[in-house]
């Protein structure tokens, strides 16, 4: 149990070594980096087993081979589960380093999706585990359900469905106290079904947007699209697009997308971005029941490319930013990732960069920038 809990959370300890690169850039560059890779997961599993063997030898004990295999499996599955769940959202991971240094994005699940918590935690609460774990699981479930009821953007209907489904699942698991396999299958199967539902609707939403874009903005070459569902609500999605227009104009846009507008229209989806650091202009396209445009920003592509070539700190930032933007001032630039521009002040993915950095950032991994194709 202890090994499973630690392994499921260990990849996020990358914040311990992120300060080797100074400032906010260190976190952005190193988070979801090396510790979120399959190769490192295998290495950690092997080291964990070696440590366990040393501890057992110190205690004059030898763990049977079957137990060693089971322990190694639990550790590896915990690490890979963390990486797999992180790969489902729009933040992304780079799981195949050092063979592949590209980001991989699921664009399908909210980063703290209440539905997944609600499907997995009842099984732990009603299992034969120490009281401490039951208490932690109960507290986490209360937080997940409380988030549904209190967070802006989660409809009351969605919060009610999540709560009733959780109660029904918990009751079914509680009645089968002795049937451990049944409880595990129900819990994992429910979580998998939720994930598959969100993945399927994400694909529908993406296809729907491409059609809308081709009809409304046919002059632009669409390069990237990122999607994030509203928490607990797969019928409302935040959408970000990046495209090249005309002779070389870099354009990023933001919208709300409703893949099934006859059920829930886009104008009923919650707008999380009432204020932004980046001044936005209206999108030259019509709103509809399926899409509500929230604004766009454009700059000559050559200007973005100039900063990439002549400002090493901005070039390092591009290894993280999926929808980069910049605001020029006399002695600095304000750089950010459009996905996380949610307030007028600098957020966690926005930073002030001198026009001429005193020195280049140190210990920058060889990640491939998400938008590197734009400047090849």
**pLDDT score for 375:** 60
For residue 348, give both structure tokens: 């966690």
Q: Count CB neighbours of 61 within 10 A.
A: 8
Cβ contacts of residue 159 below 8 Å, gap of 6+? Answer: 145, 148, 149, 232
Provide the strand spans (E) within the chain: 220-230, 233-245, 249-257, 291-300, 324-328, 332-337, 350-354
Q: What one-character DSSP code corresponds to residue 302?
A: H
Segments in the chain below pLDDT 70: 177-178, 373-376
Q: What is the pTM of this model?
A: 0.90
What is the pLDDT at residue 270? 86
Q: Could you count the other beta carbons within 10 Å of the beta carbon of residue 92?
A: 21
Distances (CA, A) of 20 to 92, 143, 364: 22, 34, 9
How high is the pLDDT of residue 376? Answer: 58
Question: Largest Cα–Cα distance in the chain?
Answer: 74
Cα 27 to Cα 363: distance, rounded to the nearest angstrom: 12
Contact between 183 and 171 under an 8 Å Cβ cutoff? The reply is no
Residue 271: per-residue pLDDT: 81
């Amino acid at each position: 149990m202890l090994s499973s809990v630690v392994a499921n959370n260990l990849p996020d300890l990358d914040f311990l070594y992120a300060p080797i690169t100074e400032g906010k850039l260190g976190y952005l560059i190193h988070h979801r980096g090396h510790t979120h890779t399959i190769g490192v997961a295998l290495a950690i599993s092997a080291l964990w087993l070696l440590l366990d063997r040393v501890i057992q030898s110190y205690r004059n004990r030898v763990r049977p081979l079957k137990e060693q295999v089971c322990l190694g499996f639990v550790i590896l599955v915990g690490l890979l589960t963390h990486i797999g769940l992180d790969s489902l959202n729009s933040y992304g991971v780079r799981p195949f380093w050092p063979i592949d240094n590209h980001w991989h994005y699921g664009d399908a699940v909210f980063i703290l999706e209440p539905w997944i918590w609600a499907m997995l935690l009842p099984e732990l609460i009603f299992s034969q585990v120490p009281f401490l774990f039951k208490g932690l699981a109960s507290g986490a479930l209360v937080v997940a359900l409380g988030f549904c009821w209190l967070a802006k953007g989660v409809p009351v209907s969605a919060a009610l469905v999540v709560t009733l489904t959780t109660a029904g699942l918990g009751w079914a698991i509680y009645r089968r106290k002795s049937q451990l396999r049944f409880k595990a299958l129900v819990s994992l199967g429910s979580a998998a079904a939720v994930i598959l539902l969100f993945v399927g609707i994400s694909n529908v939403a993406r296809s729907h947007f491409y059609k809308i874009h081709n009809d409304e903005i046919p002059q632009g070459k669409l390069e990237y699209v990122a999607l994030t569902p509203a928490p607990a609500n797969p019928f409302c999605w935040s959408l970000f697009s990046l495209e090249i227009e005309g002779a070389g104009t870099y354009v990023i846009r933001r919208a709300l997308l409703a893949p099934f507008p006859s059920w829930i229209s886009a104008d009923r989806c919650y707008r999380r971005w009432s204020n932004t650091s980046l001044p936005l202009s209206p999108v030259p396209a019509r709103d509809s029941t399926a899409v509500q445009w929230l604004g766009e920003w454009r700059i000559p592509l050559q200007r973005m490319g100039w900063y990439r070539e002549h400002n090493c700190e901005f070039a390092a930032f591009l290894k993280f930013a999926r929808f980069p933007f910049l605001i020029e001032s006399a002695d600095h630039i304000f750089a950010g990732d459009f996905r996380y521009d949610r307030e007028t002040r600098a957020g966690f993915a926005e930073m002030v960069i001198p026009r001429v950095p005193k020195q280049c950032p140190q210990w920058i991994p060889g990640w491939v920038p998400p938008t590197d194709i734009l400047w090849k």
